[in-house]
Structure 1
């Protein structure tokens, strides 16, 4: 960054938990950096992993960045995730996130199990009937409990988890 006579205003990391599709959850990660870029006439620089390994581009992110460029006057620059010298070593983003993915996969079963237990506990305290799934989702979110993929609960997500619990015997 200093070689380019730039100044880093902010840094945000966003990684989709499901590698096969991009979601609108990226909007939250981009909000602060985009606001800083707009306020400081700065360029948003991002690492685009779809440029290597033929990964699917993140359509939602691209739409947000195109809108920022076209309608908010923010310059946007994508970078390849090539290895780079950082703090006396070499940081390889692709290797880093592959390690992260392996770790996440190994922890996923425990995370899913914990989410199912939380759903079962909340549902056991709620009466059957209309609005039960939404009430459970609201309660889980109020407690700070996230889904197995780290997202907020929805009524549909609670219902689907319950169906899986019921089908699997808990």
Structure 2
């Protein structure tokens, strides 16, 4: 164990509510994301338990949001490359919460790239802690989040189908039809099935596979 550490906290975007970016500063990121706040609190507790202090041991913190809302990607490599910048070349271990222990948010890209960089990894087991004066059980937290997200995405999908169907019926065939439809949908505040903005290309694709009677 190196005696010096970098905390690494990551989450996924939620496109339907416009949550697509994190502040670069870890404290600011924790203020807007419960998942980041949980990981940061668990990391601080671990480091404090070693010597009762953070200063001099936690050399830096990285908050990272992946590019896809449903899975980890290799985009984490760029975030991990910041470790040497934060430590000034000093040898340090990276602390992260091992969500994959419970089959949540597995991130093999993180593990593989740390091995490539020859950085020691300290995986913390995801366990309940007191956060914001309340007990946060990550099992229940992620279960509740998935249920809410499933319901919200189903509603978004139905709204997108209905909106697209209505505009398709109103805009005649012809050059530039997909662009006109995308502009109309965006102007009306109707989002795609994932909560994003329409483009001529995603209008064309969804129109070709639009369910009948939905």
TM-score band (shorter)? Answer: 0.5 to 0.7
Residue-by-residue CA offset, 1:121-155 (whole Å, 9 max, x unaligned): 776658557x987x69x979x98986433578788
Report the structure number with the largest CA radius of gyration: 2
Correspondence 1:15-30 to 2 at 5 A: 18=70, 22=71, 24=73, 27=75, 30=76
TM-score, structure 2 as length reference:
0.49
2:62: which partner in 1? 10
Mapping of 1:52-131 within 5 angstroms? 52=102, 55=103, 58=106, 61-70=107-116, 72-117=117-162, 119-120=164-165
Higher strand share: 2
1:161 counterpart (206, 209, 214): 206
Alignment TM-score, normalising by the size of structure 1: 0.58
Query: Larger % of helix: which?
Result: 1
Deviation at 1:96, TM superposition (A): 0.9
CA contact (8 A) 1:17 1:149 kept: no
How far does residue 98 in structure 1 lie from its aligned partner after superposition?
A: 1.0
Structure 2: 5+ residue stretches without partners: 1-43
1:56 CA drift (Å): 7.4
Match of 1:48 among 75, 83, 98: 98
Q: CA RMSD in A?
A: 4.4
What's the CA shift string for 1:100-134, capped at 9, x where partnerless?
112112222221123335655776658557x987x
Distance 2:65 2:108 in 1: 16
| Pair 1:160–1:88, CA change in 2 (3 A) | same
1:11 shift after superposition: 2.7
Give the length in aligned residue pairs: 155
Distance 1:121-1:90 versus aligned 2 partners, 3 A rule? same
